[in-house]
């Protein structure tokens, strides 16, 4: 069972597309809209995002693989679709 976590922004259209991708493929995932989260959660997300050396959303984690930016081809590949 794949573990998928997504960090997004409620104001970002690419993040919306990312959520739609998983919904349309009926793949369960959890997401947090960074801009709507409380401060401790925001700090935690930033720590993780900074550790990965990036600064944009969407930030998708499929098991151990991190994919930043809307990249549906890579999501498919990581999920073996």
Partner 1 sequence: MSKSLVNIESRKKSLHYFFEKVVGPLGFKFTSDEDLMNFLLEQEVILESKHGIPFCPCQPLRNDRARDMQIVCPCIPFHRKHFDEIKRCWCGLFIHKDIIDPDKLPQLPPKEVNNE
72 phi and psi angles, rounded to 5 deg: -60, -30
- Candidate residues 24, 51, 53, 80; the one interacting with partner 1 per rule CB under 8 A: 53
Please count the residues of this chain forming the interface with partner 1, following the rule CB under 8 A: 21
The answer to whether the CB of 59 falls within 8 A of the CB of 15 is no
Kindly write out the interface string for residues 7-46 of this chain, putting x where it contacts partner 1 by CB under 8 A and - elsewhere. --x-xxxxx------------------xx------x--xx
Q: Token pair of 70, please?
A: 């809307």
Question: Using CA atoms, how far apart are residues 49 and 6, in angstroms rounded to an integer?
Answer: 11
The contact set with partner 1 (CB under 8 A) reads 9, 11-15, 34-35, 42, 45-46, 49, 53-57, 68-71
């Amino acid at each position: 069972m794949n573990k998928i976590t997504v960090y997004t922004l409620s104001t970002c259209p690419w993040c919306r597309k990312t959520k739609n991708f998983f919904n349309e493929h009926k793949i369960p995932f959890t997401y947090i809209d960074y801009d709507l989260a409380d401060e401790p959660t925001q700090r935690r997300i930033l720590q993780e995002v900074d550790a990965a050396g990036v600064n944009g959303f969407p930030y998708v984690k499929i098991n151990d693989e991190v994919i930043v930016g809307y990249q549906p081809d890579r999501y498919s590949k990581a999920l073996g679709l």
